[in-house]
Structure 1
Amino acid sequence: MRALVVFESLWGNTEQVARAVAAGLGESAEVEVVDVREAPALPDGVDLVVAGGPTHAFSMTRASTRADAVKQGAPHGTGEPGLREWLEAQPRTGHHRIATFDTRVTKVHRLPGSAARSAARSARKHGYAVATEPTSFYVDDTAGPLADGELERATAWGRELARL
């Protein structure tokens, strides 16, 4: 199996999760991990796309929420595209499977809205088959760090994705 993990990360937390997911996938698959700002259009031969980004304002980031993150000190917050724009730019396809994840602050565990669910909806509109339910990973505060055990959970999720 060949997988492409695409992530958007403003504070570095989502990138850590993406790399942990890739480590789990990589135990039984060929995996490439790419920042969304450098991600190509989907190449042929990719069996699974894993896409993740932070939840901002109950959804995927927008230019305005990325700008707000930069004002708050996000070290990786500049640049386009974000995950939303990357997904929208992908060609309509019927042969790629996708799994989506997000990072969110622990204190908003139960609030509605999720970048992962929004990304899955966008991917479905582009003809992707959603491989599994969108998944959230938690950070203790906006800038992080990741909550205890989240990197291990991300690696385990990557292993599960490889078995799908």
Structure 2
Amino acid sequence: MNVLIVHESLFGNTREVATAIAEGLRDRAQDGATEAADVRLVHVDDAPTTIGDDVDLLLVGGPTHAFSMTRPSTREDAQTKGATAAREGVREWIEAVTPRKGLPVVTFDTRIHVRMMPGSAAAAAAKALRHRGFDRVERGETFWVQDTAGPVVEGELDRARAWGATLATRVAHGVS
């Protein structure tokens, strides 16, 4: 099983979650529950725009900013609050990536837990990927952070590992 995780992370929270998901995917394979997992974790700045035929599952994750995926203005605002500069975000990567029919794609995001706050980068990314031409897209999980700069809420990294393990089992059984 080959998995590519493309993520955008400005404060490091989404990278932590993506790393935990990768650990869950690998651990499930090491437990013998699924075939060995080759999991590549790539920041969106370095992500390929053509997804190789060797990839069995594509995960795409990013932070929720202003009710959706980041855009240049929200990334600039985040930089004024201490975020790492990024050349582009998931939004721009989706606009550039070549769709691959039949490839299972699952999105995830990180966001602050505010009651009645609408919007999700995962939902927006799933919609954009479908619009781009990917035909097997699923909106995945949201993982919570305490504040804009983090940290990740206690227990969320364990939940991300468990979700990764679940994804590994689903891919192994062709359910993705």
Q: Kindly state the Cα deviation for residue 109 of structure 1 after the two structures are TM-superposed.
A: 4.7
Structure 2 vs 1, CA of residues 162 and 73 (structure 1 numbering), >3 Å: closer, same or farther? same
Distance in structure 1 (CA, Å) of the matches to 2:166 and 2:77:
35
Is the CA contact (8 Å cut-off) linking 2:22 and 2:164 kept in structure 1?
A: yes
Q: Kindly state the Cα deviation for residue 52 of structure 1 after the two structures are TM-superposed.
A: 0.5
Distance in structure 2 (CA, Å) of the matches to 1:54 and 1:133:
14
Q: Work out which of the residue numbers 37, 43, 51 in structure 1 matches 2:52.
A: 43
Q: Kindly state the Cα deviation for residue 133 of structure 1 after the two structures are TM-superposed.
A: 3.5
2:116 pairs with 1:110 = yes
Distance in structure 1 (CA, Å) of the matches to 2:111 and 2:74:
14
**Larger displacement relative to structure 2 (34-43 or 151-160):** 34-43
Alignment root-mean-square deviation, CA: 1.2
| Corresponding residue for residue 6 of structure 2 | 6
Distance in structure 2 (CA, Å) of the matches to 1:153 and 1:84:
25
2:97 pairs with 1:90 = yes
Is the CA contact (8 Å cut-off) linking 2:101 and 2:133 kept in structure 1?
A: yes
**Larger displacement relative to structure 2 (84-93 or 62-71):** 84-93
Distance in structure 1 (CA, Å) of the matches to 2:132 and 2:168:
22
User: Within 5 Å, which residues of 2 pair with 1:5-84?
Assistant: 5-27=5-27, 28=29, 29-41=37-49, 42-74=51-83, 76=84, 78-84=85-91
Q: Give the TM-score taking structure 1 as reference length.
A: 0.93
Distance in structure 2 (CA, Å) of the matches to 1:40 and 1:111:
33
Which residue identity is paired with 1:83? V
Q: Kindly state the Cα deviation for residue 95 of structure 1 after the two structures are TM-superposed.
A: 2.3
Q: Which one has a bigger Cα radius of gyration?
A: 2
Q: Which consecutive segments of 4 or more residues in structure 1 shift more than 2 A?
A: none
Distance in structure 2 (CA, Å) of the matches to 1:118 and 1:85:
13
Q: Kindly state the Cα deviation for residue 142 of structure 1 after the two structures are TM-superposed.
A: 0.8
Write out per-residue CA displacement over residues 38-96 of structure 1, whole angstroms, 9 at most, x where no aligned residue. Answer: 1112222101111100000000000010000001111x2x1222011111111132121
Distance in structure 2 (CA, Å) of the matches to 1:23 and 1:14:
14
2:150 pairs with 1:151 = no
Aligned identity (percent) is 51
User: Structure 1: which 5+ residue stretches go unaligned?
Assistant: none
Distance in structure 1 (CA, Å) of the matches to 2:139 and 2:126:
9
Q: Give the TM-score taking structure 2 as reference length.
A: 0.87
Aligned residues between the structures? 160
User: Structure 2: which 5+ residue stretches go unaligned?
Assistant: 30-36, 171-176
Secondary structure of the structure 1 residue equivalent to 2:101: coil
Secondary structure of the structure 1 residue equivalent to 2:68: coil
